[in-house]
Structure formats: C-alpha cells, structure tokens
Amino acid sequence: MNISEVGRKAGLPPKTIRFYEDIGLIRPARMDNGYRDFSEEDLHRLAFLRRARALGFSVEECRQLLGLYHDKTRSSADVKQLAREHLQRVDDQLAELQQMRATLAHLIDACAGDHSPDCPILADLAQTTKG
C-alpha cells in the first residue's frame, strides 16, 4: 500500500505517518523507486497508534504500548500500570479544567458587562501575584 491508501485505511494523514516513521514507530519497506510500501502489519500499527493517541497517550507511551503489545512475555500488570498512570494525569487535567471553569464563571458573573471601564476579568488577569 502507498502512504495515501494506508493513511485512508488507518484514519491518519500522510504527515502523521511520515512523523511516526521519522521517530521509528513504524518502518515501512521501500520499493526500488524509493516509495514506501506499507504492509498489513504497518496498517495495524498505525491504527493502534491512532487509537492510543485518541485516548491521549503520549508518543513515548505509545512506543511503550507497542512494545508491550508485541512482547508475548509481557505482564498485563505492566500495561495496566501504564494506563493507570495515564488515567491519573487525565484526572489531574480534569481537576485543573474544572478549577479554570469555576474561576472564569466567577469572573464573568462579577463583570457588569456595561460601558464602565471597570472590569474584574482584566483586573484578575493583571494580577502579578496570587494572594
């Protein structure tokens, strides 16, 4: 398969596929003319990467997950631990976003939104220290 075909089947743009190749996550064969020749295994790896990235795993975590996937002596505990650590980061990000939302909602409620130049939103953004 060429890069366009494998990209269509895997649901990834060619630029992303070339990036994954550049960082060693995939290694398609090359034809005599130098074009990439993607195998069904390459397609499977790309689909795996697309799904892992959609779940928010970093590129390095994807590399680890691929390694674990291909290691038939792996322990599922290793995979679970990696996923658990990622879930904790997602939970931390959600907590930060909830705090951000609460702050923004408070500031919006405090702003009169009229023709007055006084604006608690700008005043908050202009603070140099928290206190």
> Nearest Cα to 67, choosing from 82, 88, 51?
82
Cβ–Cβ < 8 Å for 79, 65: yes
pLDDT digits (tens, 9 = 90+) for 3-31: 999 999 999 999 999 999 999 999 999 99
pLDDT tens, residue by residue, 53-108: 999 999 999 999 999 999 999 999 999 999 999 999 999 999 999 999 999 999 99
Q: At what angle are helices 59-70 and 40-54 packed, to 10 degrees?
A: 130
